[in-house]
Amino acid sequence: MALEITDANFDEIVLKSDKPVLVDFWAAWCGPCRMVGPIVDEIHTEYDGKAVVGKVDVDNNQEFAAKYGVRNIPTVLIFKNGEVVDKQVGAAPKKAYTDKIDAAL
């Protein structure tokens, strides 16, 4: 399972990471989010030690979703050195996400 990222731990997990970070902004009621969720969990396992992979439930954690302009979900942001370097809005195939992480490694 991907890490649970909240407003409280976002700085520590995402912005201070020395590895690239994939953050999936999602909600339980979102159909496409339920399609992306298992993909994000797979990526978490495959990139263990190389990248950080986590999810932000936007219903419970709105601060960073608002800060990064997340208006549609699922939105996946790729961070490197605390900065957004790539994004994917809407559901996409696994390769779309892994290509973005690979580019940030």
From 5, 30, 51, 65, active-site residue: 30
pLDDT band at 91 (very low <50, low <70, confident <90, very high): very high
Could you tell me if 105 and 20 are in contact, meaning their C-beta atoms sit under 8 angstroms apart?
yes
Per the annotation, the verdict on 33 as an active-site residue is yes
From 21, 23, 33, 76, active-site residue: 33
Percent of the chain as helix, strand, coil, to the nearest 5: 35, 25, 40
All domains of the chain in start order, with CATH: 3-100 (3.40.30.10)
pLDDT at 63: 97
Could you tell me if 26 and 56 are in contact, meaning their C-beta atoms sit under 8 angstroms apart?
yes
Q: How many CB atoms lie within 10 A of CB 93?
A: 9
* pLDDT tens per residue across span 12-47: 999 999 999 999 999 999 999 999 999 999 999 999
Mean per-residue pLDDT of the chain: 97
